[in-house]
């Protein structure tokens, strides 16, 4: 997914997958030769891993850093019971 924010003029590429496939997707991204160039140009690279916990969907967000192409966790999966928002099935902490 390509995301563009007009005010700070940020561009982000987001790979969305299941939490179980998160490590595999990160490894595939790091193998792409153009990744370093995208990061050097200021493009943000995120991988979102979704899983279902206690009846609601939660997301772990990982960002790849330009310095050493290492992933850092931006938002981890919650350890506690999720709090539902309204009647939906997406949960946000």
**Domain contains 10:** yes
**Domain contains 58:** yes
**Domain contains 90:** no
Q: In what order do the strands lie in the sheet with 71-75?
A: 2-5, 10-18, 44-53, 56-64, 71-75
- Residues 14 and 1: beta-carbon distance below 8 Å: yes
**Domain contains 85:** no
**Domain contains 34:** yes
Query: How many domains, the chain?
Result: 1
**Domain contains 59:** yes
**Domain contains 14:** yes
Closest CA to 15 of 53, 52, 56, 64: 64
Structural domain span for residue 52? 2-75
Q: What is the mean pLDDT of residues 66-71?
A: 75
Confidence of residue 69 (pLDDT cuts 50, 70, 90): confident
- Residues 62 and 46: beta-carbon distance below 8 Å: yes
Q: Is the pLDDT of residue 85 over 70?
A: no
**Domain contains 11:** yes
């Amino acid at each position: 997914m390509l995301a563009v924010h007009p005010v700070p003029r940020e561009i982000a590429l987001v790979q969305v997958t299941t939490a179980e496939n998160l490590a595999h997707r990160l490894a595939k991204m790091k193998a792409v030769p153009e990744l370093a160039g995208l990061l050097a140009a200021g493009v943000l690279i995120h991988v979102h891993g979704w899983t279902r916990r206690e009846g609601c969907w939660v997301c772990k967000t990982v960002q790849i850093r330009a310095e050493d192409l290492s992933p850092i966790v931006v938002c981890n999966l919650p350890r506690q019971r999720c709090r539902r928002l309204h009647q939906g099935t997406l949960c946000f902490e």
